[in-house]
Amino acid sequence: MIKHKKKLLWLLLPLLAAAIVLSLPGLVSNYMLRVLNMMMITYLCVLSLFVVNGMCGQSSFAQAGLWGVGAYITAIATVRGGLPPVVGMLLSIVGTALLAFLVGLPLFRLKRYYFTFSTVGVMMILNSLFLNWTPVTGGAMGMANVPPFSIGGLVMKTEGNNFYLILVISAAVSAVIWVLYRSALGRSFMAIRDNEIAANCMGVNSLLTKDLSFAISGAICGLAGSLFAFLAGYLSSTTFSYSQSTMYLVMLMVGGSSSPVGPIVGSTLLSLLPEWFRALQDYMMLIYGVGVMILMVVLPDGLVGGGRKLYEKLAGKRTDSADAE
C-alpha cells in the first residue's frame, strides 16, 4: 500500500509541476517572464557545455561566442536576407554546428588544458568579429529590427508566446540530450572523459568523437542564439562576452556536470539569484565567487552529484538499520 502511494506521488508531482509552469504567463509580470525566458536560453547554453564538458570532459570557454554566432546568423538571414524565421533558426543550428566542428578539428589535437586555453582564443576572436565586422554584424551599433519568431500565421509577439516557444524547444532539446546521454555515442563521450587512452584502445576515435561533442554543443548554442535574437529583437557584441562563457561554466559546476539535471539546477539557481537578492546586486560576483569556492570544497560534484551521494548514504543507512532489526 505504501509503495503504491509513493508511485502515485511520483506520478502526480511532475504533472503538478507542469501545470504550474504552463500557468506562469498568467501569474507573473512581463518582466518576470523575460527573466524566465532568458533563464531557459541560458539553460540551453549550459546544457551545450554539459555535452562537451560533463560528458566528454573537455572544458570550453567558447560557448558565449557560439551563442553569438547563432544569434547573428538568424539576424542576418531574417533582416538582410528576408528569409522566414524558421529558415533562419535552422541556418543558425547547422551553421554554428559546422563552425564548431571545423574549429574543433585542429583544436582537439591539443591535450588537457591547452584545448581550454585555445577556446579562450576562439571566444576572443568571435567577440572581435561581432564588434568590428561592421558590414556583416553591424559592429558597435549592433543589429536591430530582428522580427519575432513566426511559423505559418502564428507570430510570437508577446513574452507569453515566447515563453511557450522556448519552453517547448528546451524540453525537446533536453529529451534529445537525455537520449544521447544513454546512447552508445554518449558512452563513447564518457569513456573519453574517464580515460582517453583506454577509450582509444577500445576502438573509439577520440579526435572525431570529441569533435562531434563540440559540434552538438555548437548546434545547441546556435539554437539558443536564434531564440535570443527573436526574443530581444536587437543584438549587441557586448552580450556575447568571455565573462558570459565563464558564467556558463560556473552554472554547470554549481548544478553538477555528472548528469543532465545539473544544467537545469545551476542555470535556474544562478539566473534567479539576482532577482531574489536585488538589494545585493553590486556584490553578486563576490557572492558567486565565495559560493563556488565553498561548494567546490563541500560538494565538488555540484548540487546534483552531492545530493545523489547524500541520498545514497541515507538510503544505505536505512537498509543497514532494517537488516539489523
pLDDT tens-digit profile of 39-92? 999 999 999 999 999 999 898 999 999 999 999 999 999 999 999 999 999 999
Residue 212 has pLDDT above 90, yes or no: yes
Quick check: 227 pLDDT over 90?
yes
Residue with the larger pLDDT of the pair 258 and 122: 122
290 pLDDT tier (thresholds 50, 70, 90): confident
| Orientation of helix 63-75 relative to helix 113-132, angle to 10° | 30
- Sequence-ordered strand ranges (E) for the chain: 150-151, 154-155
Q: Which SS3 state, helix, strand or coil, does residue 319 take?
A: helix
Residues 6+ apart with CB under 8 A from 202: 191
Q: pTM of this prediction?
A: 0.89
E strand or H helix that includes residue 198: helix 196-201
Q: What fold characterizes domain 30-324? A: ABC transporter involved in vitamin B12 uptake, BtuC (1.10.3470)
Cβ neighbours of 101 (radius 10 Å): 17
pLDDT digits (tens, 9 = 90+) for 248-289: 998 998 888 888 888 999 899 888 887 777 777 777 777 777
